[in-house]
A and B are shown apart, each in its own frame.
Chain A
């Protein structure tokens, strides 16, 4: 947006000026915090270690990269955001940020974050960061989100990469341990999101987004959440027997997964009428546990690496 266009806008009536807060909102800071946390874990559990300043700045560039993909997603999804109540007040649909500004912002941050991560850490990590941004902005946002009900699964994959990037920033490699951390978040995302979709009235149907609850029904969503939970448990237990795991991880994983399975089963074995009757108690309980689950699981990886008795 040029200064000239601003003058024209203000002379017709005050168009709300975009502030720093609006650009911050374009980065989806809440999603960014998950990326920062899991990338930090990937960096801390990687063997070899890294200079603290290089580690901190690597995390900064991963966070900026996550923000860049969010900005590009908001630019492309502005038409959807305009329709849904939850997203109507975002910077682009509210008119505070011009779509072209958001696009330029996202592209600039993409180039900045990938280049800086390459210079700070290595080009393997930078390459995976670029792939993640591309996957989220192009493969997910522009293509599959609007065409398939597996969009949650595909979108979840993009959110699963930060620990691998953090690991690669230290070692320059992506061994099986890094991929298992990706697998953990990948398997965790669908049941986490579907539990939320079952108790919050998300108006995706108004925006014509093919969510599983709409395309396949709520019963099928419960069944899918249960099946993905089984996959999650399998990946979780495998991580305990790798270089990033150990006896402590195994013990914590057993508890986390036992509670998860109990709650996912409770959600699966009931009807919508029962859910309505107790205001979606089982769905809420699984959703809350999913937040604790991911945090605790990744925290135990760090504990395993940091404690003197950690590891096998």
Chain B
């Protein structure tokens, strides 16, 4: 018959408490991931271009179509 080691019996309450804390931590991390991903504020998947967050006013950087330099032959 299986018998728990004395230390497991003695620490049962503490171990279950730690389990609850770790499960809570997982829930928090999962929640943070969902919120960050859906709000788009955490990671910006841009490569080889200026990150929009670093551009003071993105509209200022837009080149109007009429002012595009003409290529002379």
A-side residues, CB < 8 A to B, are 3, 6-7, 17-20, 51, 53-54, 57, 60, 119-120
Contacts and interface: CB of A to CB of B under 8 A. Distances in A.
B60 to A, nearest CB: 22
A51 B39 contact: yes
8 contacts: A17-B10, A17-B14, A18-B14, A19-B17, A20-B13, A20-B17, A53-B32, A54-B35
B7 interface: yes
Given A51-B39, A54-B35, A19 B28 contact: no
Given A17-B10, A53-B31, A120-B32, 11 more contacts: A17-B11, A19-B13, A19-B17, A20-B13, A51-B39, A53-B32, A53-B35, A54-B35, A57-B28, A57-B31, A119-B32
Interface residues of B, number: 12
A137 B22 CA distance: 26
A267 to B, nearest CB: 44
B13 to A, nearest CB: 6
Contacts of B28: 57, 60
Contacts of B32: 53-54, 57, 119-120
Interface string B1-35: 00000010011011001100000000010011001
Contacts of A7: 7
A119 B42 CA distance: 9
A51 B14 contact: no
A120 B25 CA distance: 13
A23 to B, nearest CB: 9
Contacts of A54: 32, 35
A17 B17 CA distance: 14
Interface string B28-56: 10011001000100000000000000000
Q: Which 5 A-B pairs have the closest CB atoms?
A: A20-B17, A53-B35, A53-B31, A51-B35, A20-B14
